[in-house]
Structure 1
Amino acid sequence: MNILIVEDEAVAARQLKAMVERAGDDVTVLAVLDSIERTVAYLRQSSQQPAIVGQPVHPDLILLDIELSDGQSFAIFDQVAVTSPIIFTTAYDEYALKAFDVNSVDYLLKPIQETALQKALHKFRQLRQTYGGNPTVSMPIDELIRQLTERQPATLAYRDRFLVHVGQRLIPIDGSEIAYFFSTNKLTFLKSHANNQYSLNYSLDELEKSLDPGQFYRANRQFIVSHKAVHRIHLHFSSKLKVELRPATEESVMVSREKAMAFRQWLGE
């Protein structure tokens, strides 16, 4: 089984690749791509007939993130004919019905659990045996809606707790205890209101998608802040905002001119 992974978050891509490679001796990860552009190019080359030496291998299955750095992955289907079945992955469930419309085998909600991935791959293997070769016929939409209703909540469930590592211990951190998230040197950290700091295996982009936007705001590329952490706001030149957080940060937290109004409205202006 040749699998193509399309995921733009480096940490999530590494974790997903490792899980797929543990799925069985019959599984090969062809490539890990991070954008619509690279995926379209790969699929165009891999679908060329006859095959050329060194040409990308056509995937039997694609694990496809819906939200990519250069747009929604549905745009791929507008640019190239995709005959491979899809398992969609995303932090949102609002795209589920649209996703199932396009050769979808399954739909996995992030953060992806290994047991859920194994179940989806098992389903794909069964479909291959039933249809022969690669299954390219989607299930009836009514059946997909029924399955989706049974296994997923009607509304998006935001993350409200994290399990963090402290030495050899695991400590649960409730969302109400979190002051802000920040990244530095390609690492992500959680800072609590009690001024405790913990490392996380998520990027800020992944966290932004999974957090309640009513409680947390992406101030800039380095910070996601909670309401309670905002201590003072200083008007800065060029209509930017300088945000003072509690606990205090080592560097200034700046909100751009483009985001300043939205940030002020989020705080209740």
Structure 2
Amino acid sequence: MNILIVEDEKLAVRKLTKLLEETAPEFNVRGITPSIAATVEWIAENRADGRPEPDIIFLDIELADGQSFEIFNRIQIRSTVIFTTSYDEYALQAFKVNSIDYLLKPVQQEDLQRAIRKYYDLTAGKTAPAAQVDLEAILKTLHLQAPVPDYRKRFLVKQGARLLSVETSEIAYFYIDNGLTFFKNHQGQKFVVDYKMDELDGFLDPSRFFRVNRALIVTHQCVVQMQPYYNHRLALTLHPALDKETIVSRERAHDFKIWMGK
């Protein structure tokens, strides 16, 4: 039985791991991730390598880089999810209503045993399958407001002696060339930006921008064509044209195809 623990508190990780060893020694903790970004990357790489999905993901709600509900927006989750949370019992009715199990922190052994029994009942067909995660209903019942991300709306760039403010809607893609980060607008004009790709990946709207590999972030509008490429990758044709190899990495290819269909 393979387990993924998503938790940013080391003490909570140690306690949950110890309780799992005592309560369900057949469980094998395959991975521990502390953030939304690390979890999405772990799942994508695990899937790309052809390894089995975790049977259960123990998912803390509050992570260092946001609420873990964002993970469901970034990648398809195929595992059973058990949330761990510090919310009070009244608020946690949201999880019961949506057929989602939870562990109230600090996790107690009897609660863990209950959650594991529920998992085995589900997999044995003794109870109805869990409903699809209804994030909106959960957030409403918990009296939370899903944070509205403050995605970057424009960039200030140089053009000769002038400074231009370019809206993100005018940008076709970002790329790296000789260690510098550039973007091209839809007319093919090239501008340098003083950000690394990891920084851009963090404050660009993921519904409009997708990082296909370490050196390229694209928009829907710039992708003219995509074709299968060896080793389960994808080759892209972009407009405006880019005089570089434009390949979607193997671990991102599946999610890229889903993103392109949205």
**TM-score after normalising by structure 1:** 0.44
TM-score for both structures, normalised by structure 2: 0.46
